[in-house]
Amino acid sequence: MRVACGNKVFELAQRDPRVAYIGSDLDPPIVKRMKAEMPGRAWMEGVSEQHVVGMAAGLAMEGFIPYVHTIATFITRRCYEQVAVDLCMHNLPVRLIGNGGGLVYAPLGPTHLAIEDIAIMRALPNMTIVAVCDAEEMKRFMDQTPDWPGPIYIRLAKGYTDPVISRPELGFTIGKAIVMREAAGRDRVLLVSTGVGTTRALAAATDLAAEGIECTVMHMHTVKPLDVEALLHHAATARLVVTVEEHTVVGGLGSAVLEALVEHLPGAMPPVKRLGIPDVFAHKYGSQDQLMEIYGLQPPAIAQTVRDGLQRRRAA
């Protein structure tokens, strides 16, 4: 996904003179390539995220579309005020590429885990937040980025090993959810997921279908602006809604879904269960998959959450 994203920036820069790239002491290959083929449009800046975001704002004020790339925690937390004031307040077309969103940097410990990035970016007016599910979807998404107004936070999942689950025939539009699997029958459950959470949600839905539990899987790649219309369409008739995100349960996709349902389905809300990282800093290392297992974000735990939710519904 990371490679696909970098390659796409290069490709976009080739056909659009407004596109520029700024790294913050990370990922030199694309900078080298761009420096060689498009001199003056790519820079490797130092470990200076506050400056880098301000510099990107300055470039955008002059008509450029800078893609800024560094580790997700540092491009969100370290320079939050620059993101808020320089990018969001001025509503500038800067694209923040956060490498290793979620639990990707598991072995490096909690300083490197971006588990609240979606929450804090979501609180900023004008910000768009996109977490695609695989490298192929990344390509379709990136093609739309040059002409999207305002800043975008692009959350990258793990670099090389994500399986491809997206399907070109389902298309991709920023801000429009993709129904990856549509349930048939009566016991309809709605799984709403983002990023590589969708991979897990889809696998859980397959397992549940074998047991006769039908789930619709809605891939909410754009967490902001949330596709409320699609959400309501499917949630209104669901017996259970489960949100799945590789992110704290505080303020992310689950919160956004709940806010929309509370506002738009008063008195008719289906039961909702949010799956995510609890309100803690991770206390284990290992791998992204292992931490996702610990926090109940792998397919068996998602499936069990659905079974339990339906059980409670029947009991009630």
Partner 1 sequence: MANDVARTARGEARLDERSIALRRLVVRTLDGGKRGHVGSSLSPLEIMRVLYDDVLRFRADDPAWEGRDRCILSKGHGCIAQYVMLAEKGFFPHAVLDTFCRRDSILGGHPEAGKVPGVEASTGALGHGLPIGVGRAMALRIKRSDARVFVVTGDGEINEGSVWEAAMSASKHRLSNLTVMVDYNKIQSAGTTKEILDLEPLVDKWRAFGFGVAEVDGHDVAALREVLGRLPLESDKPSAIICHTVKGKGIGFAENDPSWHHKSTIDAKLIDELYQALGAA
| Contacts with partner 1, residue ranges (CB under 8 A) | 40-41, 43, 45-46, 48, 50-64, 66, 81-82, 85-86, 89-90
Listed in sequence order, the residues at least 6 apart from 50 whose beta carbon sits closer than 8 Å to its beta carbon are: 78, 79, 81, 82
Residue 128 beta carbon to partner 1: minimum distance, rounded to whole angstroms: 19
Distance CA 188, CA 238 (A): 5
Rounded least distance, CB 89 to partner 1, Å: 6
- 81 or 259: whose CB is closer to partner 1? 81
Q: Is the dihedral of CA 54, 105, 140, 257 positive or negative?
A: negative
Whose Cβ is closer to partner 1: residue 40's or residue 185's? 40
CB of 82 to partner 1, least distance (A): 7
Closer of 56 and 217 to partner 1 (Cβ): 56
Nearest partner of 194 among 105, 102, 108, judged by Cα: 102
Note whether 74 and 23 are within 8 A (CB).
no
Q: Is 260 in contact with 126 (CB distance < 8 Å)?
A: no
**Cβ atoms of 304 and 240 closer than 8 Å:** no
Show the DSSP H helices in the chain as ranges.
2-15, 28-37, 49-61, 72-76, 80-81, 117-122, 135-142, 197-210, 228-235, 253-264, 288-294, 299-315
| Closer by beta carbon to partner 1, 64 or else 298 | 64
Pairing, β 215-219 against β 178-181: antiparallel
In the complex, the smallest distance separating the C-beta of residue 7 from partner 1, rounded to whole angstroms, is 23
Minimum distance, C-beta of residue 113 to partner 1, in the bound complex (Å): 24
CB of 129 to partner 1, least distance (A): 22
The C-alpha angle 128, 132, 137, rounded to 5 degrees, equals 120
Q: Which is nearer to partner 1, 57 or 103 (CB)?
A: 57
Largest CA distance in the chain: 66
Nearer to partner 1, 41 or 247 (CB): 41
Q: Which is nearer to partner 1, 121 or 135 (CB)?
A: 121
Number of Cβ within 10 Å of residue 37's Cβ equals 12
Residue 24 or 198: the one with the smaller Cβ distance to partner 1 is 24
Q: Residue 154: how many CA atoms within 13 Å on its side-chain side?
A: 33
CB of 191 to partner 1, least distance (A): 40
> What is residue 160's DSSP assignment?
S
Q: What's the rounded Cα separation, in Å, for the pair 60 and 282?
A: 36
Nearest approach, Cβ of 119 to partner 1 (angstroms)?
21
